[in-house]
Amino acid sequence: MAVLPIIIAPDPRLKQVCVPIDRVNDEIRRLMDDMLETMYLAPGVGLAAPQVGILKRVIVVDVSKDEGERQPHLMANPELVWVADEDANAEEGCLSLPDHFGDVVRPASIRVRYLDHENEIRESAAEGLLATCIQHEMDHLEGILFVDHMSALKRNMILRKLIKAKKAGDLPVVESAAVS
Ligand code: NI
């Protein structure tokens, strides 16, 4: 496995709609494994392929708190097949927007269909942080960042700070584990 560089916003690669994959072959399995390693090291709870410059519909998520009991979810072509009427408001962060956080409202629980690491079609139910994180990662596949759910004022403030930090070469260190 290999650790991949994570793209920091603003970047045109984070604004693209990603393409579906035909099947989970060795190349995609390797991408999933590399993304998972990259996410654990960051550390984060989710990562989408465009964040490492691969414009394919692949995400990895693990919201388990204990390193000894990891529960990785590796998904290709994820699709929501059901969302709850009830919404949840949760604070989100993103490895591509280090050190910035904001509240986002999303359906509180979901069912997602996807191809797993073995190219099997699966369907999983998720709620709480897992549901938030899967939806956040799926947004990345549409070129949507969590700040796109916030007001233009807040979004532009965060993006301007990131541009400044990039120019100064001193991007902040991510300390929270709840970033994806
Ligand atoms: Ni993210």
> Which range of residues forms the domain containing residue 63?
12-167
Share of the chain above pLDDT 70, in %: 95
CATH number of the structural domain spanning residue 150: 3.90.45.10
Residue 175 within any structural domain of the chain: no
Residues marked active site are found at 137
Which whole number is the average pLDDT over 142-149? Answer: 98
Whether residue 175 is predicted with pLDDT greater than 60 in this model: the reply is: no
CA of 4 to the centre of ligand 1 (A): 15
Distance of CA 103 to CAs 25, 79, 133, Å? 37, 23, 13
Ligand 1 center–CA 126 separation, angstroms: 18
* 41 CA → ligand 1 middle, Å: 15
Please indicate, yes or no, if residue 177 is contained in any of the structural domains: no
Give me the mean pLDDT over the 71-95 stretch.
98
Q: Helix or strand or coil: residue 12?
A: helix
Domain count, the chain: 1
Residue 180 pLDDT grade (very low, low, confident, very high; cuts 50, 70, 90)? low
This prediction's pTM: 0.93
Tell me the average pLDDT across 15-25.
98
Q: Is residue 174 in some structural domain?
A: no
89 Cα to the center of ligand 1, angstroms: 16
Please give the pLDDT value at position 178. 58
Tell me, yes or no, whether 147 lies in a domain: yes
